[in-house]
Amino acid sequence: MSPTQKGYVMTTAKHRSDSYLADTHTGLPIPDRPAFASPEEERRYRKRRLAAALRLFGKYEFDEGISGHISVRDPECTDHFWANPFGVSFNQVTVGDLVCVDSNGKVVHGDHPINPSAFVIHSKIHELRADATAAAHAHTEHSRALAALGKLLEPLDQESAAFYQDQVLYEEYEGPSISIRQGEDIARKLGDKRAILLRYHGLITVGGSIEEAMHRFFTFDGCARVQLLAAGAGKPRAMSHKQAMSAKDGFGDSQLASFSFHVLYNEITAEQPDLLDE
């Protein structure tokens, strides 16, 4: 695959003293984010990745009936966001199925309704976090198990260190999140963190792109599994503060997160090309 395919441009090592390192924060040869000629072009790009993200949720069995939703802010009408349609399986959703809602919860594009929980949670996250282009939420087994213990990720490895001092546990629970007040409380408790683990509920991750939010979701859930396994086998030894911060500097890098999802995007669109149907 050419490094310039799908709008990506490869970063060179022109500013690095070591020729084997690319001119990126991590030194990895990660392409720059694509540039767009118009809002329409960027909207199509985001919607394609949203559909792919939903199919990946289905592939990795993150579905739980009608629960779970992913949103991405519209690039032009920034108080609108795109999300998965209510009642359509993650394994079947296509670009053409996606819905766009305004700040009042009205579906302005699309033929399906939106899950009320998706609106009250995601609308407030997008409203209160200008940097949150996307948010992902699901009721995964590992995140729910970790939340049931009232624990957050410990820096047990490089991947979990990406969330070191960048996650919050939400302890309140009043039933399904269908009120604006609940959604706003979750968004405010999230603050400027990358992830919020909802006790008795599930996981939410956010990012400056849908790629970033999705990579963080997959990483958090995988790290929750590792932590539960390690705790069941013995007494895990966490990194020191210095080690965790060093690991976070690399594995918490936004550019790395975005490109990591790009790899999954290529995989799922090759496996399930019908997801791109408009």
Amino acid in position 96: G
Kindly tell me the burial class for residue 109, based on how many C-beta atoms sit within 10 Å of its own C-beta (0-12, 13-18, 19 or more). Answer: middle
Q: How many domains does the chain have?
A: 2
Average pLDDT over every residue of 172-192: 93
In this structure, the answer to whether residues 138 and 250 fall within a common structural domain is yes
Block residue for tokens 């009120």? 179
Q: Please give the mean pLDDT across all residues of the chain.
A: 92
Q: At 9, is the pLDDT very low, low, confident or very high (cuts 50, 70, 90)?
A: very low
Cβ-contact 150, 199 below 8 angstroms: yes
Tokens of 223: 């790290």
Mean per-residue pLDDT, 252-270: 95
* Same structural domain, 94 and 175: yes
**Domain assignment present for 278:** no
User: 181 Cβ partners below 8 Å, 6+ apart?
Assistant: none
Distance, in Å, from the CA atom of 66 to the CA atom of 245, rounded to the nearest integer, reads 38
pLDDT of residue 1 exceeding 60, the answer is no
- Residue percentage of the chain with pLDDT more than 90: 85
Say if residue 16's pLDDT is above 60: no
User: Is the whole-model pTM more than 0.75?
Assistant: yes
| Shared domain check, 118 and 45 | yes
DSSP result, 96-116: GG-EEE-TTS-EEESSS---H
Give the Cα separation of 274 and 94 in Å (integer): 7
CA 242, CA 207: separation in Å to the nearest integer? 25
**What pLDDT score does 59 carry?**
97
- Predicted pLDDT at 17: 57
Q: Are 12 and 88 part of one and the same domain?
A: no
Answer whether residue 230 is part of any domain.
yes
